[in-house]
Structure 1
């Protein structure tokens, strides 16, 4: 009994930390950005930042940016997510539901937000890739952040968790950076995409508790 009580006491701070740092704080930041975007206000630092970044463009960086923008796009993440969904569906449907809502839900959320805010993309130089939809938030950043956050939750407290954290954060970071380098997003588009993807997945996790009843697996509480 005392062991159970001590376990619960250790769980509560982690759950509160996840709530405030992983959900509420990101949503507050996104809300702050979204308010200015909705009012068609500009962030003064964004255009100079993008132009300064573009001054360092090179053929090798072009290829690297195109690689990560492809890896972080729907054409790669969607089929990979579908394969993982099928695997989880055969293993345990509650896990498949969590995965599906996390990744597919982030894509739907991105579409809804784009339609609401209708922020034009930057037009600062001839771009290597052409995008026809709106820019806020960055879908690539949101997809990759949601994908990585869900993978981290699956691997938490396993021998591979820090490997997944490091590689996942690096991957999502490079995807977002590639969108800035290619000039198809403003920095606040990318930041809002990352934070929205993170908050969405952690919110879904908090509601579904997909790993509940599996303490031996060492999943986050």
Structure 2
């Protein structure tokens, strides 16, 4: 099923908005945060939709969570949430679902999820699923992220990326709701730890 067909199933009679979002996800400066990432997140959400109270809000949040993506900016999640708040009412999405969608988008800024937030847990799990990929797939993901930050000097990128990865490892759990959480957790922490080791300078032996 192509993305526009998926959008129509979620928000009927709003093709213009769906096309606008697909255009956002297709911007040439993106290397990882592309339509492939969107499709992958939606696939995880669909697979485990029966575990959450409002799977359509989670799907909408998947569509919007990186709709605004400027590697030079620090407020992409907030701007993406505001885009959802501005766009969804005109597409016929009820106010409560629009509010929940924007809340979920904002959550992806740090992926910290309350224990009883099942909608948030599924979105976070889906967004971070790439961390648990096979090592070669993970390495391609890491390379793509570096391409998105090509404007950042190497030393600054390494330090910033290490901070991001360290923050992820500091979370009590990377995955919270998917039935394969334990399996994903082990693979993801191994991948992230491996990348982190390449980013931090080694201390020369004396």
Pair in the same fold by TM > 0.5: no
Higher RCO structure (Cα 8 Å, ≥6 apart): 1
